[in-house]
Amino acid sequence: MTIEQLQYFQAIQKFMSFSLAAEDMCISQSSISKQIIALENELSVKLFSRNTRNISLTSAGTEFAVHARRILEEYDKAICNLRDYSFGKKRSISITSIPVMNHYKVTDMIALFEKEHPDVSMSITEKDGLYVAKSLENPDTDLVILRTGFMPYGKYKLFPLIEDELVLVTNSSHRFADREIIQLSEAVNENFILLSADTGLYNFCLEVCSKAGFSPHTLHTNIRIDTIKNFILQGTGVSLMMKKVAEYFADPRIRILKLEEKPVLTLSIIARNNRLTPVCSEFIKFATAYFAGLLQI
């Protein structure tokens, strides 16, 4: 029994499909089938019931799933904890973040951490929210920076950094421009320009609009913040975005209106329960103290 076979078993259990599991693991379906057959032969039990339409776990497979999960968790934990002791290597942290680090001064915090910890090597990748969440399943990723509310509870450790509120953004000639606060329902007839559907914020905006009693009419999606800003300035439409991101524009032609509903999200560091190496714990402690204003900068 190998770690690879256990990973294949978990992938099939997740999708209940050999073809989807093979695609997720980036191997051929025949290869993953051979590995599972070899595992079943070694254990002398059938792990999956197979027919032409679907598969399911056998009773033995259900029992084995519990042990497979524990073995992989311990293996993952051992690899992560030993990484700091690799001979001749710097301590390392691999972070995947949604692309808002500049807006929230996360880059400033990381630069200060690197200055005070020259023995630590930092690797940082930016992706859209759905891909950031998925990257936690990648053994090469230690931490992610993401707005909470988009992760399943219980499976991960969450370390809050900054709370931010959703706002409506218009140009200075818009009919709402002289207002400081509105009810979102007042914008029912507006054209909305939103971020990509691959971002957690997109789904949050749809949810907030639904609670306000309407489905937003969206003109453009799958575009970036700078493009949204230019469309707003041209009067093409309005947007919903987090207040600190909108303030990052620093443009007198842009108006930021608070919503009476006060929808709030929190930017957090997130880690798997078994993935906190000593150096990651140091970084999290530093980051939370930084944003709590407890560090002398």
Provide, rounded to the nearest whole percent, the portion of the chain with pLDDT above 90: 42
Structure confidence by residue, pLDDT tens digits, 107-124? 999 999 999 999 898 999
Please say whether the beta carbons of 267 and 146 come within 8 A: yes
pLDDT at site 144: 92
Q: What does the pLDDT average to over 278-293?
A: 92
Report the pLDDT value the prediction gives residue 297, as an integer from 0 to 100. Answer: 52
219 pLDDT exceeds 80? yes
- pLDDT for position 254: 93
The pLDDT, as a whole number, for residue 3 is: 87
pLDDT at 152: 56
Per residue in 8-62, pLDDT (tens digit) is 888 888 888 888 888 888 788 888 888 889 988 898 989 888 876 778 888 988 9
Give the span between the Cα atoms of 210 and 204, in whole angstroms.
10
Judged by DSSP in three states, 259 sits in strand
Mean pLDDT over 73-89 rounds to 67
pLDDT band at 251 (very low <50, low <70, confident <90, very high): confident
pLDDT tier at 149 (50, 70, 90 boundaries)? low
What pLDDT is stored for residue 276 in this prediction? Answer: 77
pLDDT digits (tens, 9 = 90+) for 258-281: 999 999 999 999 988 766 788 899
Task: Please tell me the distance from the alpha carbon of residue 69 to that of residue 92, in angstroms, as a whole number.
Answer: 26
pLDDT for position 156: 83
* Secondary structure (3-state) at 168: strand
**Predicted local distance difference test score (pLDDT) of residue 89:** 56
Helical packing angle, 59-83 and 3-15, nearest 10°: 120
State the DSSP string of 182-203.
E-GGGGTTSEEE---TTSHHHH
Domain annotation for the chain: domains and CATH numbers: 3-83 (1.10.10.10), 91-162+267-291 (3.40.190.10), 163-265 (3.40.190.290)
Q: Do residues 281 and 287 touch, judged by C-beta distance below 8 A?
A: no
| CB-based contact 141:96 (threshold 8 Å) | yes
CA distance 34 to 38: 6
Query: Which pLDDT score is estimated for 84?
Result: 58
Res 85: pLDDT: 59
Q: Select the more confidently predicted residue: 225 or 210.
A: 210
Cα 210 to its chain centre, rounded Å, is 23
Distance of alpha carbon 279 from the chain centroid? 21
Q: Which residue has the tokens 């987090």?
A: 242
Taking the model in full, what pTM does it have? Answer: 0.67
Strands 254-259 and 181-182: parallel
How far apart are the C-alpha atoms of 166 and 115, rounded to whole Å? 33
Tell which residue, 112, 163, 156, has the closest CA to residue 274: 156
Beta bridge partners of 99: none
Q: Which residues pair with 121 in a beta bridge?
A: 92
Q: Count CB neighbours of 81 within 10 A.
A: 14
Helix and strand element counts for the chain (H, E): 10, 12
Give the pLDDT confidence score for residue 110 in this predicted structure: 95
End-to-end CA distance of the chain: 52
| Residue type at position 8 | Y
Query: Residue 242: what pLDDT?
Result: 93
DSSP 142: -
Percentage of the chain exceeding pLDDT 70: 92
